[in-house]
Structure 1
Amino acid sequence: MEYGFVDCHCHISAREFEEDLDDVIERAREVGIKTLIAVTEEIGEFNRVLQLQERYPDLVAPCFGVHPLQPERRSVTPQDLDAALQQFYNHKEQLVAIGEIGLDFTPWCVSTQQDRDDQMKVFVKQLNIAKELDLPVNVHTRSAAKVAIETMREQGVSRALLHNFAGKPSVALEGVKAGYHFSFPPAVCRNRQRDKLIKQIPLEHICLETDSPALGPEKHERNEPSNVTLSCSYIAHVKGLSPQSVQMITTQNAYKLFPKAVRR
């Protein structure tokens, strides 16, 4: 069996890709990407990601999610989710996961307890939608890794990807115990800050992602899915493994976590 790559968390519906999307997709295919798990951040993106699935049915696997930070970097409110709620149910057949959802307690974005409470309400509600629809979750945890993992465990969530994870290794291992997966974008190649974390998380709990158009190998340049190969090579380097084995196992992990993304 030939193993390609799965980009487990990318924003292929982002405006940054509008001008040259066919080229971006072509480059993704050239490096061997088989599936793009396409996350959304707010209701305005839902239709676009479905249109992209129609355009590239063998590649784009859509997720719907309401992100803890909404446009203008304001904290999400329960009203933001209410507006999107019916869409999750209307399109449940097409969705492979609920995401991008999560918690973001970065001080310069979230200044009040009310903001945190609102984020928690929206997060828990979307975790429950995922359970109801029998879907995994694609999760953002900035300055909130411990709380997010504890909340998911309390809510009985068993399938989760913690994307661009930057929490402590001890917190990550709590997630591993719960059966969760972790993914790392090409930005990890820029410094060695997450080496210890990557070393400690078993490869069976790691997936690849780009988070494109953000978090690429160069800070101020647009990232794209084809850079998933850089994440693969870097994880292989840190773990002392071959890139081929990292590619194979992370792809197996991805399809186990997102079974609806498997191309039959």
Structure 2
Amino acid sequence: MHQDLHEVIEKSRKAGVQAFVSVTEQENEFEKVIGLAERYPGSVMPCFGVHPIQSGAEGQRSATVQDLESALPLFEKYKDKLVAVGEVGLDFTPWLAPTALQREEQQRVLALQLALAKQLALPVNVHSRSAGRQTIAFLKEEGVQDALLHNFAGRPSVALEGVRVGYYFSFPPAVTGHDQRAKLIKQIPLENICLETDSPSLGPKKEERNEPENIGIVCRYIADVKGVPVERVREATTKNALKLFPKIKQHLKE
């Protein structure tokens, strides 16, 4: 996508996308996201976060506090540019975090970033693979008020626990191929739903690169699942996103 980034952004703008909330997964991506925000001011909105699963030369592994420590100075350096802290969370996929010690370490990494988000008065963008119930319970325990559970795949009963706290749930185009996710979307109030693409992953076709312009696909899908007009979903999810990420408004005006 680096080769045709400008083309991707322009196509997305023509499709009606005004803001691109760009998250990181590890410290070496922080400066890259800031570079994009500087190249596309008022369009690319940066978020910093250390993901619970880290990638390196030896493959994927569970995150440690050391992964976060080296990133902390960058949070401080760019705090005025950030619209959220993310992508953070818990990932208890058995082959990625098989031990209790690894899962406890992930919780320490998450707790530190939740505290940082509170300090910076920012919402959090949260990953919760194979840990939906544990993640929502942890957010509640830590007193988090403003959270987006991205690509949530837990049980509807668990999601509704988050709804009661006021959390939001976002869904990418990939959900169009999962009947189970339709059941979840039906039960979550539209007032708690946001749209996402998670580009370049989680597109409508697994083998194809996903792009931000595909956000319209999930908008139409949610409208079909809920039996409401597409425009209603577009308006509600835009309102939700601006409420959850208030700094987006500020950056759009710059």
TM-score bracket, shorter-length normalisation: over 0.9
Partner residue of 1:178 out of 162, 165, 170: 165
List per-residue Cα deviations over 1:32-66 (Å, max 9, x = no partner).
00111100000111011001011111210100000
State the partner residue of 1:44: 28
**Cα distance in 2, alignment partners of residues 194 and 231 from structure 1:** 12
Partner residue of 1:107 out of 94, 99, 110: 94
How many percent of aligned residue pairs carry the same amino acid?
A: 57
State the partner residue of 1:254: 241
1:67 aligns with 2:51: yes
Alpha-carbon offset, residue 192 of structure 1: 1.6
State the partner residue of 1:32: 16
Partner residue of 2:155 out of 142, 165, 168: 168
Partner residue of 1:205 out of 178, 183, 192: 192
Letter in 2 for 1:21: L
**Cα distance in 1, alignment partners of residues 247 and 234 from structure 2:** 20
Q: How does 1:110-129 map to 2 (within 5 A)?
A: 110-129=97-116
Letter in 2 for 1:44: N
Alpha-carbon offset, residue 184 of structure 1: 0.3
**Cα distance in 2, alignment partners of residues 57 and 253 from structure 1:** 22
Letter in 2 for 1:215: L
1:188 aligns with 2:172: no
Alpha-carbon offset, residue 108 of structure 1: 1.4
Letter in 2 for 1:64: F
Alpha-carbon offset, residue 191 of structure 1: 2.8
The total of aligned residue pairs comes to: 248
List per-residue Cα deviations over 1:132-153 (Å, max 9, x = no partner).
1000000000011111111111
List per-residue Cα deviations over 1:64-85 (Å, max 9, x = no partner).
0000000022000100000101
For normalisation by structure 1, the TM-score amounts to 0.93
Alpha-carbon offset, residue 198 of structure 1: 0.1
Instruction: Give the gaps of 5 or more residues in structure 1.
Output: 1-16
Give the ranges of 4+ consecutive aligned residues of structure 1 lying more than 3 Å apart after TM superposition: none
